[in-house]
Amino acid sequence: MKIQAYAAHGPSMPLEPFEYEPQPPELPPVQVEIAISHCGICHSDLHLLANDWGFTQYPLVPGHEIVGTVTRLGSAVKSFREGQRVGVGWEAGSCGECFYCLRGDENLCSNWRGTCTHGYGGYASAIRVDGRFVFSIPESLDSERAAPLLCGGTTVYSPLAQVVRPAMHVGVVGLGGLGHLAVQYAHAFGCEVTAFSTSPDKEAEARRLGAHHFINTREAGAVEKAASTFDFIISTVSADLNWGDYLNAVRPKGKLCIVGAPPSDVRLPTFPLILGNRSVFGSPIGSPSTIREMLEFSARNGILPMTERFPMARVNEAVDRLRSNQARYRIVLVN
């Protein structure tokens, strides 16, 4: 079987049609073969395309917000059937034996395998993935709007579900693919929600998605004014920020969670951390069990991304649109 895909052959090169034969040719017993119908474009795909993280292997077929249908099952996979609608996110494998895998934190396994970092990803006609990292898509979620939940949705759902309680005041920094979902989850959890954005034209949408307040971070002093306001702030921004302002915006005992990947290391002032007993932590995607929970929660509460659809063949145009922060709010490639 040959898979038709789009690949980049070097840093910041355009994606070009690319064909490959999956290896090994026989479907391994633990894998599921999926015909891809939809694949979201996450900003992590842009980081990989540009080799921002220094580990991109070319040719790179990006794509890790995949929805499609099962075409074949390895002999050991019992949990799916042919024709079933399924999804795949960032993680495609883990050792299955370490402390973290055994307790259900497979996303913390040091031998994790990425869908598009350790193999060819979802900007393609098909993919083969270890069945432990394949998820059934709830019937009420349409495929285009389910795809971005597999990475973007789970990445913000996971820390929010671990930390926030109703009535907390939650700040969401950056209203992109991840951020516009974080606003919806925080609202659904019963929180008071503030959106921090560089794009004032997103205010009406942010409020419609569940934000009670909107802070235009381009206004001088806007973030400083919010000092000691928030129980929890999640940053989804892929750029360097003045982190001290965001740490100060967190109340004593509050938490700042960083899921966006800025180019520079995060520098923080020490005394607001110590005196306010504040904490800062990061969070990688979500475990398989968190992904299943997130899909169920999203389906039950009608939490869906706003999407723009592009045919797979127009992938370069779609990538440029995300790169220039024009996407509202997640672009999904469709086969």
Give residues in contact with ligand NAP (CB under 6 A). 42-44, 47, 151-152, 155, 174-179, 197-199, 202, 236-239, 259-261, 283-285, 322, 325, 327
- Tell me how far, at minimum, the Cβ of 29 lies from ligand NAP, in Å: 29
- Tell me how far, at minimum, the Cβ of 45 lies from Zn ion, in Å: 7
CA distances from residue 204 to 181, 207, 208, 313, 325 in whole angstroms, order as listed: 15, 5, 6, 32, 17
153 binds, among ligand NAP, Zn ion, none (CB under 5 to 8 A by kind): none
- Tell me how far, at minimum, the Cβ of 44 lies from Zn ion, in Å: 4
259 binds, among ligand NAP, Zn ion, none (CB under 5 to 8 A by kind): ligand NAP
Give Cβ neighbours of residue 222 (< 8 Å, ≥ 6 apart): 215, 216
Q: Which two tokens stand for residue 297?
A: 């929660």
Q: For ligand NAP, which is the closer residue by CB, 68 or 177? A: 177
Q: For ligand NAP, which is the closer residue by CB, 140 or 326? A: 326
- Tell me how far, at minimum, the Cβ of 217 lies from ligand NAP, in Å: 6
Q: For ligand NAP, which is the closer residue by CB, 191 or 259? A: 259
User: Can you say whether residue 314 is alpha, beta or left, with left for phi > 0 and alpha for psi between -120 and 50 degrees?
Assistant: alpha
CA distances from residue 183 to 41, 138, 158, 277, 280 in whole angstroms, order as listed: 19, 22, 13, 25, 20
176 binds, among ligand NAP, Zn ion, none (CB under 5 to 8 A by kind): ligand NAP
- Tell me how far, at minimum, the Cβ of 26 lies from ligand NAP, in Å: 32
- Tell me how far, at minimum, the Cβ of 175 lies from ligand NAP, in Å: 3
260 binds, among Zn ion, ligand NAP, none (CB under 5 to 8 A by kind): ligand NAP
Q: Find out whether 13 and 38 touch, Cβ atoms under 8 Å.
A: no
Measured at the alpha carbon of residue 81, what is the angle toward residues 75 and 86, in degrees to the nearest 5? 110
Instruction: Return the bridge partners of 18, or none.
Output: 5
Q: Find out whether 246 and 268 touch, Cβ atoms under 8 Å.
A: no
- Tell me how far, at minimum, the Cβ of 290 lies from ligand NAP, in Å: 12
Question: Interface with Zn ion by CB under 5 A: which residues?
Answer: 42, 44, 151
Q: Find out whether 273 and 247 touch, Cβ atoms under 8 Å.
A: yes
- Tell me how far, at minimum, the Cβ of 134 lies from ligand NAP, in Å: 19
CA distances from residue 288 to 113, 176, 208, 305 in whole angstroms, order as listed: 13, 23, 30, 20
199 binds, among ligand NAP, Zn ion, none (CB under 5 to 8 A by kind): ligand NAP
Q: For ligand NAP, which is the closer residue by CB, 292 or 321? A: 321
Q: For Zn ion, which is the closer residue by CB, 115 or 125? A: 115
Q: For ligand NAP, which is the closer residue by CB, 116 or 322? A: 322
Q: For Zn ion, which is the closer residue by CB, 42 or 312? A: 42
Q: How far is it, in rounded angstroms, from Cα 244 to Cα 165? A: 25
CA distances from residue 259 to 25, 91, 155, 167 in whole angstroms, order as listed: 37, 16, 7, 22
Q: For ligand NAP, which is the closer residue by CB, 143 or 307? A: 307
187 binds, among Zn ion, ligand NAP, none (CB under 5 to 8 A by kind): none
A 10 A CB-CB count for 105 gives: 18
43 binds, among Zn ion, ligand NAP, none (CB under 5 to 8 A by kind): ligand NAP
Residue 243 phi/psi, 5-degree rounding, is: -65, -30
